[in-house]
Amino acid sequence: RSVNIVAFGNERDGFSEDNQQPSLIWSYLGRSALISQIDSSLSASHVGNPVFTEYQACVFGNVRLVVHDCPVWGIFDSDWYTSCRLIGGADVIVIKYSVNDKISFQELKDSYVPMVKKALNHCSVPVIISAIGARKNGVPCTCPLCTSDRRSCVTTSEGVQLAKELGATYLELHTLNDFYIQKYFGGVLEYFMIQCLNQKSSEKMKKRKKTQKCHRVKPPQLEQPEKMPILKGEASHYNADLHNLLCCCQCADVAFYPEDLSTVVEAHKIILCSVSQLFMLLFGVKSPSDIHDASIMQLAESLFVVEAEDPLPSSPRGVQPYVPPVRVVVKDSVFCSCLPDFLHFIYSGAFQWEQLEEDIKKKLKDPEKTEHVLEKVKCILKTPGKLNSVKDCRSHQIKRLYNTSLRLFFNTPVLADVIFKIQGATVPAHRAVLVARCEVMAAMFNGNYLEASSVLVPVYGVSKDTFLSFLEYLYTDSCCPASILQAMSLLICAEMYQVMRLQHICELYIITQLQSMPSRELASTSLSIVSLLKKAKFHNSDCLSTWLLHFIATNYLIFSQKPEFQELSVEERNFVEMHRWPSNLYLKQLADYRNYIHSQKCHCTVM
């Protein structure tokens, strides 16, 4: 048997010079005739938390007494969990204060009494409020700016009012002598300890009788459902796709030459324009009036010359005419020699600045030339109207540009070289992005297919909204389906074009949405999970179909009542029955237990 006492507050006068005054709790433990075997090693040290002291002793002979003395109210501010745990485990609570410290009393009343009431939460724990000390009469301050006076005392009526708020017993201890400690405070505290022990003995006896009366067959244990298969996401290969586009030079529409035309480096307008305002100006995407930065226009004029294009021969309607790459002459020979490194930097995501610096240093082996080239690169990547500093180009501060900048060219005719016709509408796109991001489209536009030479490409089997979401993923490497059905449509489109990562993203979205659906919503929804299962199987989404079967089995009691449950194949039905939750064995054991309870005519504590 044990009694737990928690004491809060400081009985010492905060403005007194006597810091050696013993505490109320320690005085009681040391003087009470009923207390024995005080553990002095714990009383002198902090246990667990530095804001309270724990005392252990024996009371009434063999009852274990544990006291937590918390002189600092800050425990409620710094560690609410610990304070609630202490109050929750207390059999008696003691709140103490000095009658000569009005400021601390007011703080206790305004800030911490509401917290104590909240922590008690209607628990019937006895509370003792102890007002300690002899009041020192002083002349209160008459300054209108003072809200309280340090020398003013806490009156008896204020203490009684505080006790009423907490439903507590109020005691005034003028001094910590034998009478006040043993007879007055000790008598009240020991009364509450005896009441607590009697209550615990009574509850223990009731529990023992109840156990003896209801000692019968235990209810069946419901095991947890089987763990569903975990679907892992696929890492993005967005930057790698675009870097491969540079290496294979498919759909290149820009050719850079030195002034002597001795070499050529091919690239793509849309990639260059996605990272640089200068290239937008160079290829006519933006006019000089849109740039508002003279340094960019000056660099474009001094560094590049775009040769005039020859007129294109006429071609049959709907047939893609051959358009040779735009010829751009690089006037600066040093920069031209580093152009391949610059393009690799851009096509890799424009965030590996330190690697670019290292590559140019190795190639040029001249600090002045290296700095010259790097300054031009920074100016090319510069945002109009902003200063260009070296720190802006560091790897940890540059954002990956494609998934934000390529979005500017999504579903716009700017630089578009292919138009998809779908459900009577047209959607412009860019072959370079499509070829880089989708192997099926790469084969379609570069092979011996009709689409390779057509400007207008019809699309069948998907809706316009779904196809737009598909293209948005190709351009931005992200997708946000609006619903489970839209995610399934996008999954089907991704499977049709063999974009596996998008398929996995849609699978994860469907699984996440279904997992977060409450049982009540799952029972009332018109969404057919079996229909999703059939589509997932038909479109080779093995991970999703396996997960959906487990999902149906785990929610067997819901889905077995739906008409769509009958649409499962024999193989699927067998799987669901084998992995159903709760199992047939548990339901049989539960029925037997209910029959037993009714036969004994005893109230079932579980059901």
Range of the domain at 267: 249-309+323-381
Verify that 166 and 298 share a domain, yes or no.
Answer: no
- The CATH number covering residue 161 comes to 3.40.50.300
Q: Domain end: 381, 410, 425, which one? A: 381
Mean pLDDT of 338-366: 89
Beta carbons within 10 angstroms of residue 527's beta carbon = 15
Verify that 161 and 294 share a domain, yes or no.
Answer: no
Residue type for 167, please?
Answer: G
Mean pLDDT of 394-407: 53
Mean pLDDT of 545-562: 93
Verify that 182 and 274 share a domain, yes or no.
Answer: no
pLDDT at residue 310, rounded to an integer: 60
Give a yes or no: residue 52 inside a domain.
yes
Q: Which long-range contacts (CB under 8 A, 24 or more apart) does 563-568 make?
A: 564/528, 564/529, 564/530, 564/531, 565/530, 567/530, 567/531, 567/534, 568/530, 568/533
Task: Name the 3-class secondary structure at 423.
Answer: coil
Name the burial class of residue 320, with classes exposed (0-12), middle (13-18) and buried (19+) by CB atoms within 10 angstroms of its CB.
Answer: middle
Q: Which long-range contacts (CB under 8 A, 24 or more apart) does 494-498 make?
A: 494/470, 495/539, 495/540, 495/541, 496/440, 496/461, 496/462, 497/438, 497/440, 497/441, 497/470, 498/438, 498/439, 498/440
Verify that 194 and 296 share a domain, yes or no.
Answer: no
Verify that 109 and 176 share a domain, yes or no.
Answer: yes
Is pLDDT above 50 for 390?
Answer: no
Q: Quote the tokens at residue 155.
A: 């009156």
Residue listed under structure tokens 């930057």 = 239
Give a yes or no: residue 240 inside a domain.
no
Beta carbons within 10 angstroms of residue 317's beta carbon = 7
Lowest-confidence region among 189-203, 224-238, 306-320, 474-488 = 306-320
Q: Quote the tokens at residue 97.
A: 């204060």
pLDDT at residue 285, rounded to an integer: 92
Lowest-confidence region among 10-19, 457-466, 534-543 = 10-19
pLDDT at residue 313, rounded to an integer: 58
- The CATH number covering residue 282 comes to 3.30.710
Give a yes or no: residue 70 inside a domain.
yes
Q: Domain end: 364, 381, 398, which one? A: 381
Sheet of 254-258, strands arranged across:
265-267, 254-258, 326-330, 304-306
Beta carbons within 10 angstroms of residue 294's beta carbon = 10
- CA proximity to 540, closest of 503, 594, 506: 503
**Using an 8 Å Cβ cutoff, are 299 and 278 in contact?**
yes
- CA proximity to 8, closest of 76, 56, 106: 76
- Give 185-239 pLDDT, tens digit per residue: 888 888 888 888 888 888 877 777 666 555 556 777 777 777 766 666 778 889 8
- Give 234-254 pLDDT, tens digit per residue: 788 898 999 999 988 888 999
Verify that 7 and 103 share a domain, yes or no.
Answer: yes
Question: For residue 20, what pLDDT band results from cuts at 50, 70 and 90?
Answer: low
Verify that 179 and 274 share a domain, yes or no.
Answer: no
Verify that 165 and 18 share a domain, yes or no.
Answer: yes
- CA proximity to 67, closest of 128, 116, 15: 128
**Using an 8 Å Cβ cutoff, are 424 and 437 in contact?**
no
HSE value, Cβ hemisphere, 13 Å, CA-based, for 469: 23
Is pLDDT above 80 for 601?
Answer: no
Mean pLDDT of 464-474: 96
Verify that 257 and 189 share a domain, yes or no.
Answer: no
Give a yes or no: residue 13 inside a domain.
yes
Verify that 181 and 254 share a domain, yes or no.
Answer: no
pTM greater than 0.75 (yes/no): no
Q: Domain end: 361, 381, 401, which one? A: 381
The proportion of the chain whose per-residue pLDDT surpasses 90, expressed as a percent, equals: 38
**Using an 8 Å Cβ cutoff, are 9 and 71 in contact?**
yes
Task: Name the 3-class secondary structure at 420.
Answer: strand
Give a yes or no: residue 159 inside a domain.
yes
Lowest-confidence region among 265-274, 332-341, 382-391 = 382-391
Q: Quote the tokens at residue 151.
A: 């020398």
| Secondary structure (DSSP) of 454-465 | BSEEE--SS-HH
Verify that 265 and 178 share a domain, yes or no.
Answer: no
Number of domains in the chain: 2
Give a yes or no: residue 584 inside a domain.
no
Is pLDDT above 70 for 487?
Answer: yes
pLDDT at residue 342, rounded to an integer: 93
Q: Quote the tokens at residue 8.
A: 């809060």
Is pLDDT above 80 for 12?
Answer: no
Is pLDDT above 60 for 594?
Answer: yes
Give a yes or no: residue 470 inside a domain.
no
**Using an 8 Å Cβ cutoff, are 8 and 93 in contact?**
yes
**Residue 85 CA: distances (Å) to CA of 4, 82, 88:** 12, 5, 5
Question: For residue 605, what pLDDT band results from cuts at 50, 70 and 90?
Answer: low
Q: Are strands 326-330 and 304-306 parallel, antiparallel or unpaired?
A: antiparallel
Give a yes or no: residue 328 inside a domain.
yes
Verify that 194 and 263 share a domain, yes or no.
Answer: no
